[in-house]
Amino acid sequence: MSKPLIAGNWKMNTNSHSSISLAKSIAAGCSESAGQSADVAVFPPFVYLGSVVQVLRSTGISVGAQDLYTEQKGAFTGEISASMLKDTSCVYVLCGHSERRHIIGESDRLVNAKVTAAINGGLLPILCVGEKLQQRQCDKTGEVVNTQLAEGLADLSAEKISGVTIAYEPVWAIGTGLTATPAQAQEVHFLIRQELSKKVGKQSAQQIRILYGGSAKPDNAADLMAEQDIDGLLVGGASLKADDFLRIIKASI
């Protein structure tokens, strides 16, 4: 298995000053050994990407974007393309985060176009999937996740799929303080791994990182990471406090 990935999704938080100081604190606290044992990435808002990239240059910590648009350039007011993100030294990009699916209204089809644009633009997409509480209560978790996975990865070759990271983020656990138990998360991660095996073969599917997201914190990170199919964490709220994020990284390696 490749190194775990610990990713901090800052969402629509920070400002020009605090984004820099947060990045500096993370860089200062991220020991070389932590950096060698795990890949670490932060996802600031678009407008602070450039300055955070400057701060994190040659620290080994990567920078990613929270979203992108499907087209390369042109008359798409307000949108940001893969090539712009690449030009800003972004490495990763989130695609289909549940807040974009459920607040902004992104469809699986649009998410698929974004994953495709990210790969074609040389970025590493993190495809986010996850069920709502009601869907879990109706035993629809597997069905929802499989559909999001199948449609999100539609028409992509096995080779391209092998470069995608998946993030399982149960919607009911995001920002709520409710975390899926390690066993609940593992059950879905296993299912995702099985679906990926059908697409890329068992061996390649083992190499695809499947992150867990949803109220990941310093005190639950180690237990989540101990599960066989959990290969990293996508951290929201707790990534805004350098100490918490650093403790999560430490607990994960």
Q: Considering the rule CB under 6 A, would residue 214 count as an interface residue with ligand PGA?
A: yes
Q: Considering the rule CB under 6 A, would residue 60 count as an interface residue with ligand PGA?
A: no
Give CA angle at 40 (39, 43), nearest 5°: 135
Among residues 99, 131, 169, 227, the one annotated as catalytic is: 169
**Tokens 């470069």 -> residue:** 163
Q: Considering the rule CB under 6 A, would residue 234 count as an interface residue with ligand PGA?
A: yes
Q: Considering the rule CB under 6 A, would residue 181 count as an interface residue with ligand PGA?
A: no
Q: How far is the CB of 164 from ligand PGA (least distance, A)?
A: 17
Q: Considering the rule CB under 6 A, would residue 56 count as an interface residue with ligand PGA?
A: no
CA dist., res. 108 & res. 62, Å (int): 27
Q: How far is the CB of 244 from ligand PGA (least distance, A)?
A: 10
Q: How far is the CB of 172 from ligand PGA (least distance, A)?
A: 10
CA dist., res. 56 & res. 52, Å (int): 6
Report the 10 Å Cβ neighbour count for 241: 14
Question: Which region among 49-57, 150-158, 189-197, 211-219 touches ligand PGA (by CB under 6 A)?
Answer: 211-219
Q: With DSSP H G I counted as helix, E B as strand and the rest as coil, what are the percentages for the chain, rounded to 5?
A: 50, 15, 35
Q: Which letter does DSSP use for residue 177 in this model? A: S
17 is annotated as an active-site residue: no
Question: What are the tokens at 226?
Answer: 């101990």
Among 230, 235, 242, 249, indicate the residue that binds ligand PGA (CB under 6 A): 235
Asked if 202 contacts 222 with a C-beta cutoff of 8 angstroms, the reply is no
Q: CB-wise, 158 or 178, nearer to ligand PGA?
A: 178
Q: Considering the rule CB under 6 A, would residue 170 count as an interface residue with ligand PGA?
A: no
Residues marked as catalytic: 97, 169
